Structure formats: structure tokens, C-alpha cells
Structure 1
Amino acid sequence: MAFTQRAFDDRDDAGRRLGERLARGGEADKEPVVLALPRGGVPVGHRVAEELGAPLDIIAVRKLGLPGHPELAMGAIGEGGVRILNDEVVRGHGVDTEALDAVERSERAELERRAALFRQGRPRVSPAGRTAVVVDDGVATGSTARAACRVARAQGAVRVVLAVPVGAPAALRALAGDADEVVSLSAPAWFQAVGEWYTDFAQTTDEEVIGLLREHRDAAGPGVDADVGVEAAGVRLGGHLTVPEGARGAVVFAHGSGSGRHSPRNTRVAGTLNGAGLGTLLFDLLTEEEGEDRELVFDIRLLAERLRGAADWLGARPEAAHLPTGYFGASTGAAAALVAAADAPSGTGAVVSRGGRPDLAGARLAEVRAPTLLIVGGADTAVLDLNRRAREELTCESALEVVPGAGHLFAEPGALEQVADLAAAWFARHLPPGG
């Protein structure tokens, strides 16, 4: 941990100085993404991102205030179901489980509202496989900063750097256990409040946050984001292709029975992958007429041929020809993805299954060479058992991740976000640029 005594004109000045310090020090030299705590951390993060040449996003966290005394933090929560408690405060004030849960429900609803407001429908920028630079305008107690660091880690960051212009020395020392590096320009022994170290500490507005995030997204370039007609195995299928500017890989989605390219769950996962710098192709495995035939819906051989054909079509596109490719399969689509991977082992970088039926791939499981991640809900016991058995048949690198309490559709709060983060981290690891 390193710092020097310094006071700041405003958040813009603080962010510029902090960014220069990080660029010099090299703490964020592995594909950094700047994650700023709204609202006050965003103007600081804006300048840090400019200095590092990195994307900028918010990292949504909320303080859990003590009932009757909301100014006193008994913990904090973050995206993806992260919760941190100060057991001393909770026990010392006799807060029972019911009261704690009520505060968390209220704050989580506000967290989700603000995240949606600030991002304005744009996908979250994922830190999976990258260095997450968590930025705020200062640290007093450190509870929200701690939550933010843990959220970034849970979202797949390989390294977490907490960077602030000023902070209380004790809080900064305590945060060293949650971040790989803590950088502060000032840590005065007589610290009382963050605002004392700024000449201008005016409140940051929602509009300022939205504008700064939009500015960074627009500067990154449009990439490709369009409806397409996918030529696969002799038929033309509707699809949607997204390739972010500077994409590091591409993922072809295989939906489950009764679903298609408009699947809200796959669309949400795809948004997280886009934020992690991965292209995505969501397409209909069957034509509209074919979709009415229940036998075709479960024809794994046919679905695998369509999936492989879609991957070949994607590889011929100029914006994706250089990108390593993986498959993301849900339900029966997971079996199709595994069979497609077995059919073309050299052309498949990785496979991820969400609530999948890998058992339907049968004997082809042993032929899969692509690193495979199986994600199952803890409450989806029958499918979990099938995945455990299927994994025993895999001879490639594999992992089984269980999302606690989640059902087959991952409809529980934060469950699908965990799926998306796990998938982004797996693809980031196994679809390296130029792989």
C-alpha cells in the first residue's frame, strides 16, 4: 500500500491524479476495467479510465443500515447476491434474521433500480479474466468498498485493485485483505470525512453518472449489433449477432426446447459476455415450422449439425473470422453443444452448459476435447444428478458449478447473474485473444 498526502480541487482533479498514479505504478497492467461506485466514484473513475485507456462501468453496492439508525452500517450488499455483515454491529444491537432480511430486500430492490437507471439498458461491463480497478471518491469505514471488491472477484476478476484519492488509514489497511492492491493518494492520520479533502465536494447527480457512462461506451465504438440470417446445414435461420469493438472471442448459443434467439435468460447472459469483450450469436436452431415438431426439438444430432453450421457461418464473417469460438448451451441445447464440440474438436475453444442435459450427448461425451463447464441450480436435484454422472464421462478439462438454492430456470434473485459471471470467467480463461 502506498500513498502521499494530497488535497484535491474536485473529483475530476482527484481522478486525473489517481489515474496518473495507477498508469505509472503498473498495478492495473492486465486488461483493466474501471468499476466505479456510484455516484461520487463515477467522476473519479471517469478520469482513471481515461488515463488507463480502460472501459468504465459502475459496480452496484448498497449499505445495510441499522434499523432505526440507518446511518450506522451493519453491512453491505452487491450485485450477484454478495452480502457482507458486520457481526459485531448485528449482535451488539440485537438485529434478528427477520429484520436483517427486511433491510436487505429493501436495499437490494434499490440497488437493482439504480443499476438499471445508470446503465440505461446497456450490458454490464464484466471484469471476467481482467483486472478490476474499483474506484470511489474516498474511503471512510470501508464497508461498501469491501462489498465492491468482493463483487468484482465474484464476477471473475483475476486481480482486484482498490483505488481511491483519500481514505482513513485503518479502513485502508483492513481492505488489504479484500483487494490484491490498495492505492490511495492520501491517508491522513487525522481523517474524519472524505469531503474534508476536497475543495469542491458537490453531490454528483444521476444525470452526471449516466452521461459519463454513455460517453465511455460511445467512445468504445459501435462494433456489430444486428439481426442476421444464419446459413446453417442447408437452412436459413433467424439470429442476432453482437461483436463488441476489440472482441476477444465469440460464443454461439444453443437454446433449450421451446425457446429461441429471443430467450430472455440467454439474452441476459449474452449481455454479460458482451461486457466481457466476447461476441455472441443467438439464433433459432429450428425454423418456425420445424419448431412445432416435438421430435425435432429433441433431435440432438440435427441440433448439433445446425450449431456447427452456425459456428462455421460465424467464422466466415469478417468481424469474427479471427476469433476463437465457444458454445453456450441450455437444457437440450447443452447436449447439442457437446456433440458439436465432439464433431469439431479443433474448432471449439470451450463449452458452458446452463441447467443442461449433457447426458443426452451419450457416448459422444468421451470425445469432447474442449474445456467444459457445467452449471446447475442447487435445487434442481434431478438435473444436478444427471450432470454429475455426465461429468464422470468427460475426459476433457471440466468443472461443475452449483448455484445454491437455484432452480432449473435460475429465476431466483441473483442466480442468473451468477451463471453469467461463471460463464464469462470460463470463456475468458479458455478463449484467449488469438486462441
Structure 2
Amino acid sequence: MSRYQSRFQSRFQSREHAGTELASALRAYRGTGALVLALPCGGVPVGRVVADALGADFDLVMARRIAAGVALDDTGKTWRTNEADAPSAAGGLRGIHFDQLCRQRAVYTPVRKPADPAGRVVIVVDDGLVSGATMYAALARLRKRRPARLICAVPIASRAGLDQVRALADEVLCLDTPDHIESLAHYYCEFQLVSDDRVRALTGMASAQAPGPARPGMVDSVPSLTQAMLIPCRTTPLRAMLESAPNPVGVAVMVHAGGAQRRAARSHYLARKLRTRGFATMLVDLQPDRRVDDALASEVDELAEKLAQTLSFLRTSTPFANLPAGLFSAGTAAAAALRVAADHPSQTGAVACVAGRIDLTGSAFLQRLDTPTLLMCASGNPQSTRLHHHACAQMHCPRQLSFVKASGCGFDDRHALEEVATLTADWFEQYLVNPSRPSLDEVAAR
């Protein structure tokens, strides 16, 4: 185990996962007409999940830290925690930060007034507290607007940070309180920056834009979605992250096995690219407790069983039940994906594998595979190239072998990832949105 992993154990898979756990702890407020207010930007994915789970209204509360223990609210007032030094250089930065707050408000909610907290149960959410200054400013501002009950709810916080805000809230709820926090990122497996576009989408502004033309295969009534879910699987549930723009044309079930910390940025980049092409995405790590990069060859059967359970869950417990599904896999999980596709051909309309351990699939599975399959291999890896050619020769299904310019098998280069995303989206559009079964094999080299 690395020094990084031995010092910090990730408490949450993602902000959405943290929101799911926080919503469970706040379930007493379900159906009470509560107002959930999130601090941009990191608190927005957490707050969106909480609001949806509680059936609550959702909006933003604007505040910004400008120095240690000092933060601004959206009126430009400066608030200091008890630990803030009296003399501070923050005064000279106040104007710059207030301009930034005003810009954020204009970008995030340009056409509507902020929700009124007066007389309501108000739950203020962020992705965590370190010093507590930003939450302190938000609570202090909201307290003046006379909510019926003011609640501070965060997944993780330092004890010192919580102490700063207790006097301002009627209730403080925190799932984990380490004595000291160097960075919130240490407590999340996935901790990407939250973009302005993401905030707009989660606060409902994206859906306010004029809808584009209907696309072939588009399924009505599937709303915009960001949701963390748990898939029952033996004794340890699998975490799944579901995301979609409104009315997707299909769902890409993206699976890998272990190494989540290394794979996170790549997986989320590819998922975003697929969503821009109209697909919903479902990200699942089939070996969430494995810290190394991939599962062992001896674990392919176990991975296939978990993947089959994932597909069953997709069909019975998600809004994507009626969408055509494609499997997108990497590493040892690719062998599991091909086995599942061979055993359950009605469950998947297409398969795409990148840098997959295709050699672990087994000849019997490859030969009876009927699902259209895209294999992507790094052009700079001769051993992988030979394995993919050998596997492709054993298949009788519609198939394509594409070579992507990349060094090794990592596919960490942005240009290589863009090509992988384009190849996968094109394949899924061909076989999920407009399914066909050409009689001739399709083998291409790029």
C-alpha cells in the first residue's frame, strides 16, 4: 500500500455518494417542505442528491472564503470566525472576491430570484468543512432572514470547523469528524473540480434552455439525472454513479475492476464525452476494495457474476430500465463483459473494450459471442496487438478492432482518450440507436 493510501482512507466514493449518505441521515425531514441550499461549487452535487431524496426545494447560498477564518456573504458583508486574526489583509481582497460572488450568481441563476428561507426548514449543505469560514458566513446571512429551523449538514468536517458554526445553527449534522483535515480530497475517491456548467445543470438552468431536435431512439420522460446508488451484491454492495441529460438514447454501463483512484479522471472524462452524444452513463467499480490497478485473472468469473447483477439492477431499479444498454469496459473487466454478453445476449446491444484483457475471456465465449463488439488497443503495445488480433479472429459477431495511437496501455493521453470516446460513441450509435447486424465482419485498423 502506498504512503498516500496508508495515511488517508477515502470515506466517500464521490460527492454524490456523500449526498446519498447525508440524505439518509436527514430522512426525518423528508416531505416537510424543506429548502436545501448548497454552497458552490463542491456542495452543489451533494445538495442536489439530498434535495431529491428529501423531496425538497433546491437552490444555492452564496458565500466565499477570502482568508483564514474570513468569508463574504452575497451582500458583501465580511464575517469572521472566532479563530480569525483581528488584523487581516482580507480587506484589500474583499472587492475582488465580492465581484466573483456576483459573477457566480449571474452565471448560475441568471433569470430567477433566490429562494426565500423565511419561515422554512433550511438545510445548508457543502462537501465538507475545513476551517468553517464559508459555512459560517452562509449561516450568519441566513440567520438574519428568519428561517423556522436552520440546519448545517456536511459529509465530513474538522472538529475545529464544526465548533465555529455550532452557535449559528439549530442543528449540525456531520457524518465524519477527523481531528484535522489537510484537504477534503483525501476523503473522496473521486474529487474533481465542479465546473460552472455542472452547477448550472444541477440547479436546473440547463433544462431551461430551448430543447434541441428529437433524435432517433430518444426515450421521453427520462429526466436529467445525477444519482449515486448501491447495487446489492453478496455481502458488499457495489457503488454505481448514474448520470444523464434529459431523454437519453441509450445507456453506457462503464465498468472496471479496482484502481479507482488512478482511473477516476479518465472514467469521468469518457463518461462526459458519451453524455454529450446523448447517452446516459452508469459507472461501476466491480472491485471497489482493490487498491491495485486491476483484478487478477482468477477473478474473471467473480467479475462476470457482479456485472450480471449490475445489469439486472439496471433493468429493475433505475430510470434507465427501458433504454438499450452498451457495455464499456477496461482491463480484466473487459473479459468479464464479453463473457456476460455471450451468456446474456438480450441484456446488451453492444460492447466496447479499451486496453482489455481479451485473452482472459476464453475461446468458448468468444466463439459464441453474438453482440457487436468494438476492441480498442494501443498501437504502441505489440503484445496487446497480438492478443487482440487473436481474439478478433475467434469471434463471429459484428466486430471492429481499432488501434489508437498511445504509448503502453494507459490511454492517459488526452488525444488518445478523445479517440476512444469517439470510437465508442460511434459504435453505440450504430448498434444501440440504429441497431443492425451486418453479415460481414468489420475489422479496421487505425
Superposition TM-score, scaled by structure 2 size: 0.46
Instruction: Work out which structure has the larger RCO, using CA pairs closer than 8 Å and 6 or more positions apart in sequence.
Output: 1
